[in-house]
Amino acid sequence: MKTTVFHKSYPVWIKIILAVYMIAFASATWNHVADIIVGGLFPYHEFWNVPCWMNVYWTSLTILDPMAIMMLLFYLRPGLLMYFIIMFSDVAINVYANYTFWNIPILENFFLLNQVFFLLFLCATAPFILKHRVSVDADLQNE
């Protein structure tokens, strides 16, 4: 059985950061599931009157977010790449939606600000995790 990132000899600070990543995506998954429960399979057109492609994208995060969690749990580098792709695309689409459809001042859009800050956190911490991952993998090979 493949070991998870929490079973490897990473320092505690890396495990805490990875746990924060996973908790954030689990919370996002729950938000999308709740939206589907309330509004049906493609709820965002009803909620925010956005185009179909945005509706499909946000609904697809219901599957993509937990997939990213599992990928990060078992395969660190591809998991981080999936996190970057999801977060960058989600923030870009939400910024576009904010300025095109919602017209909410950026500093008043709590959900968008949270996503931007999480993306910045991901960008700031992932390089350190990857750098440390290489040294941990080299140590494991030398044992």
The answer to the question of residue 6 being in a domain is no
The three-point CA angle 128-69-23 to 5° equals 80
The C-alpha atoms of residue 130 and residue 143 are separated, in whole angstroms, by 20
Range of the domain at 118: 12-136
Structure tokens at 131: 């750098």
The DSSP code for 41 is: S
Give me the half-sphere count of Cα atoms (radius 13 Å) on the Cβ side of residue 126. 18
8 A C-beta contact, residue 132 and residue 11: yes
The structure's pTM equals 0.88
Number of structural domains, the chain?
A: 1
The answer to the question of residue 52 being in a domain is yes
pLDDT in tens, the chain (143 residues): 677 888 878 889 999 999 999 999 999 999 999 999 999 888 887 777 889 999 999 999 999 999 999 999 999 999 999 999 999 999 999 999 999 988 899 889 999 999 999 999 999 999 999 988 655 554 444 44
